Structure 1
Amino acid sequence: MTQNTQQQNKKSKYHRVNPNSWSFKLFLVYDTFMVFIIVFNLFCLCMNFFLMSNLGSWFFNSIHLPDVLSFYREHLHPWVITTEAWFIIFLIVELVVRWAYAIINKHHQRWFFFPFIHWYEILAIIPHLRFLRLFRAGVIAYRLYEMGYQIIPSSIQKKALFYYRVIMEELSDRVVLTVLDGIKHELNTSTTHKDLISNVVQHHRDLFTQVLAEILQENLTKELRAERDLIAKNVGQIVSQAIEDTPELTQLLRLIPIVGSRIEQQIQSIGQRLGENITEGLISPLAYPNQSTQSKPNFYLDISNRITRIEIENNEKLDELVRSAVFESLEAIRKQVKVKQWQQIMQEQDQATE
């Protein structure tokens, strides 16, 4: 999906909004104002926290400006506290007005849905949860972005998305590696995996049978069709040679005058042809299983059923095979997880800039 298509899909959410109407322009100005005032409020509170802390005192003393800090604490700090109180009152009134507006225009199916949908705005009124105001500013900015307005520069968006992916990749890698180490330790220190393997096989015997039958049918039929004539010819030659190597039959035929040798040749020819026909008859159901009638058994399915009935418990070779396959799979996953995708992206970006 191209970028233009994505933008069209985002704008389709607001297809009923007329961008040229005064209500829309007022809505746009109000959202922009709210983003600005929320960010400014949080900036002022952060600076106030810094200036009123011991770290702020140390900083201003180190740059030899203690009078500036004293002036702020005596004259500006009370104003910041008062402004914060008025801002909280403003948020409460603004929330109530918007709730009433939502009820009048029936924005939600029930009138009491509004506080649950805008829970972060209600919690942001609490002084100790002021950071949620920034969340509201982000929601407004994202909504404006969906409407096609570039609130945040694309360069900042790309950097923010890149660092978000870095953090998520590092966290997910740690989780995956911990899980893999736990699985490997469990396989090394316990025998529960044997029961697990047995249960898996028991629950999937029918599927194993079907898959094994399909594999045998798909591969063996091709080989049997390709080698059918050669196998029949070889079996016929073996039968003919077996007749020739039977001294009792040779001596008995030689007792018949004149036609004895002729009968011996005919018997060898008949035996060879009989061996070829029998071999072709035995191979046909295996080489062309789909042409067999319903009364004839499916040899591949029968073979698969017999194989899957084999008991796997107390089988050291099978246990060793499974352990080896699992450990190699875990190690392969570990190597893949250790690959830092964000480092590769940075290298590609550096190469592109060079």
Structure 2
Amino acid sequence: MFAINRENLKKSHQTIWFVIDFLMLGLLIFNLALIIFDSAYGFAGVQDFFQQSVPAFYNFYQPIHRNFIFYDLIFVSIFLTEFFVRWAEAVWHKTYQRWYFYPFIHWYDLLGCIPTSGMRFLRVLRVISIVYRLHRYGIIDFTRTRLYRFIAFYYDAFMEELSDRIVLKVLSGIQEEVRRGSPLLESVHKNIIYPRKDILVGWISDRVADLASQGYAPNRDALRRYLERCVAEAVHQNPELARLKLLPIFGKQVRGTMEEAVGDITSHVINQVMEDLSSSRNHDFIDDLVDVFLPDHQKKLVYKGTDDTELAQRQDNEVLINLTLEIIDAIKEQVHKKRWREQL
């Protein structure tokens, strides 16, 4: 059931109206329950059941059923009184721009007062409006009720199933278009990726710089020792350099000096490359590298005459198509997962 927030009720300074809301809510629920029961009581089988099983209740309710319109008019008179009081209050406080706007905005309150079977159930909308108003002002919290959680859960489940089927249908259509050689990939490259090449180059440049500085700097000494061992093994296995040991007097020294020099040069070159990659100077290198993978559309037309270029381009397109299809398959697999089942 609803838990009434007394603090918000005091802060609202509309206690009297909220009390009326609660009274009207109780009357509406009772009236709707009575309407539903009387509708069911109208069947001859139901009347026979009460006549045989509960004759006292049958004798009590039979006059009410025959004159139900009269008893319903009692509720209607109360509802109309409350309606006109609220209309007067809205005119007094100028809630709406025109005094006659209130009955049009609250049409369901007015039509629900018509005592016919088709209009009576519009009173359900009045129940919903009262509950919403109380919830909006924080007097009650409808989201904590079991009914709300039950409806919200199955509504979310229904919407997830519906949206998943739509998304899967769309993704399958995209895959079919890609397999048929749709110009989608060329359009993505030409109109989306290439115009943003500078942004892509800047992002890759920053990532490479971060990886080079964070990955190389802490392991510089270990990498140098590793290179020195590799160079020493290569020198020992090289037959031409092994003959230096045959030189009289300085053979071993020359070989050792050369081994150290090669190791220093190799370490220096690698160190310089990693420092360049970890600095802003790597931007031009990354730019050239991106140009290889994302050539300009106009530049690709220049080389279109060579067979090797056309073959390489077709192979690149096949790789890109397969990659796109695999990405869409991964998305479809993720869409297939039902979150509402996990919650259940």
Post-superposition CA distance 1:140-174 (Å, at most 9, x none): 3454567776799x9xx532133113321331232
State the alpha-carbon separation in 1 of the partners of residues 59 and 230 from structure 2: 110
Instruction: Indicate the residue corresponding to 1:183 in structure 2.
Output: 170
- Provide closer, same or farther for how the CA distance between residues 92 and 305 of structure 1 changes in structure 2, counting only shifts above 3 A: farther
Q: Who is 1:61 aligned against?
A: 48
Conserved? CA contact 2:216–2:274, under 8 Å: yes
Deviation readout 1:303-350 (Å, 9 max, x if unpaired):
234333388877222222221232133223312346241x3xxxxxxx
Give distance in 2, aligned partners of 1:146 and 1:89: 28
The one-letter amino acid paired with 1:35 is L
Is 30-39 or 218-227 further displaced after alignment?
218-227
2:13 to 12, 17, 25: 17
1:217 is matched with which residue?
A: 209
Match of 2:307 in 1: none
Q: Which residue of 2 aligns with 1:132?
A: 122
Aligned to 1:328: 330
CA contact (8 A) 1:194 1:319 kept: no
The question of whether the paired residues in 2 share the 8 Å contact of 1:31 and 1:140 is answered with yes
Structure 2, unaligned runs of 5 or more: 298-312
The match for 1:306 among 287, 292, 298 is 292
Asked whether 1:82 is paired with 2:70, we answer yes
Greater length-normalized contact order (CA 8 Å, ≥ 6 residues apart) = 2
How far apart are the structure 2 equivalents of 1:195 and 1:208? 22
Q: Match for 1:285: what amino acid?
A: D
Aligned mates of 2:98, 2:24 — CA distance in 1: 26
- Partners of 1:338 and 1:324 lie apart in 2 by 26
Alignment of 1:87-166 (within 5 A): 87-88=75-76, 90-108=78-96, 110-115=98-103, 117-125=105-113, 127=116, 128-141=118-131, 143-144=133-134, 158-166=145-153
> Is 1:36 paired with 2:26?
yes
Amino acid at match of 2:279: P
1:209 touches 1:301 (CA, 8 Å); kept in 2? yes
Q: Which residue of structure 1 lines up, in the alignment, with residue 321 of structure 2?
A: 319
Residue aligning to 1:281: 272
Aligned Cα root-mean-square deviation (Å): 4.9
- Alpha-carbon distance between aligned partners in 2 of 1:70 and 1:267, rounded to the nearest angstrom: 117
- Amino acid across the alignment from 2:173: E
The residue identity in structure 1 corresponding to 2:70 is T
- TM-score by length of structure 2 reads 0.66
Deviation at 1:188, TM superposition (A): 5.3
Structure 1 gaps of 5+ residues are 19-23, 344-354
Counterpart-to-counterpart distance in 1, 2:100 and 2:29: 29
How far residue 186 of structure 1 moved from its aligned partner, in angstroms, is 1.9
Q: Is the 8 A contact 1:224 1:283 kept in 2?
A: yes
Query: Which of these residues, 29, 40, 44, is aligned with residue 50 of structure 1?
Result: 40
Name the SS of the counterpart of 2:337 in structure 1.
helix
Q: Distance in 1 between matches of 2:256 and 2:18?
A: 105
In structure 2, C-alpha distance between the alignment counterparts of 1:28 and 1:277, rounded to whole Å: 81
Shift of 1:242: 12
8 Å CA contact 1:232–1:275 kept in 2: the answer is yes
Kindly indicate whether the alpha-carbon contact (under 8 Å) linking 1:232 and 1:280 is maintained by their aligned counterparts in 2. no
- TM-superposition CA deviations, 1:232-280 (whole Å, max 9, x none): 7589879989999499xx9xxx9xx999999998788766655554454
